[in-house]
Amino acid sequence: MMGNQRTGAQSRDTGKDVLGILLIQAIVVLLLSAALLLKGNVLAYSALLGGLIYLIPNLYVTLRTLPHRAGSTAGMVLAQLYIGQIWKMALSVAGFTATFIWVKPLSPFSIFGTFILLQLLGMLLLMMSRQRFLKL
């Protein structure tokens, strides 16, 4: 009885944590871009684009994979995770490609620096989260 008492509650809590992390990352992107406006417009919008290239695919995969459907088997959930990760990579590649083709001038350091900063921040925030994520 105790194990079934909170069916789906852990998934909802995890979803809230992950969305909270994405919100913190979005705020960091906006603050960083605002600060870089002091150095120049190109640096600022390049950082903003790097942040969006990171955030949009991660938001997509979060919204796609976190909601559990009743009756889903572990295999079905795992398949959805793999499909979500493939789409996340494809969206990231599309974001970088579109940015480098259509946006001129650019600061590659700002784009990649912001993207990498958000990767590291995401890992740090997950480790600090109150939820018990699997540590590989």
Determine what percent of the chain is predicted with pLDDT higher than 70: 82
For the segment 108-121, the average pLDDT, to the nearest whole number, is 97
Residue 53 and residue 92 in contact, taking contact as beta carbons nearer than 8 Å: yes
Supply 98's token pair. Answer: 């579109």
pLDDT value at position 134?
54
pLDDT value at position 8?
56
Residue 3: pLDDT band (50, 70, 90) is very low
Residue with tokens 């406006």, as numbered in its chain: 37
pLDDT in tens, 4-14: 444 455 566 67
pLDDT in tens, 73-108: 778 878 888 998 999 999 999 999 999 999 999 999
Residue 55 and residue 91 in contact, taking contact as beta carbons nearer than 8 Å: no
- pLDDT higher than threshold 60 for residue 133: no
Backbone angles phi, psi at 9, to 5 degrees: -65, -40
pLDDT value at position 69?
64
For the segment 106-125, the average pLDDT, to the nearest whole number, is 96
Supply 26's token pair. Answer: 């979005």
How far is 106 from 16, CA to CA, in rounded Å? 34
Residue 84 and residue 65 in contact, taking contact as beta carbons nearer than 8 Å: yes
pLDDT in tens, 14-42: 778 888 999 999 999 999 999 999 999 99
Buried b / exposed e over 11-21, threshold 16 CB at 10 Å, is eeebbebbeeb
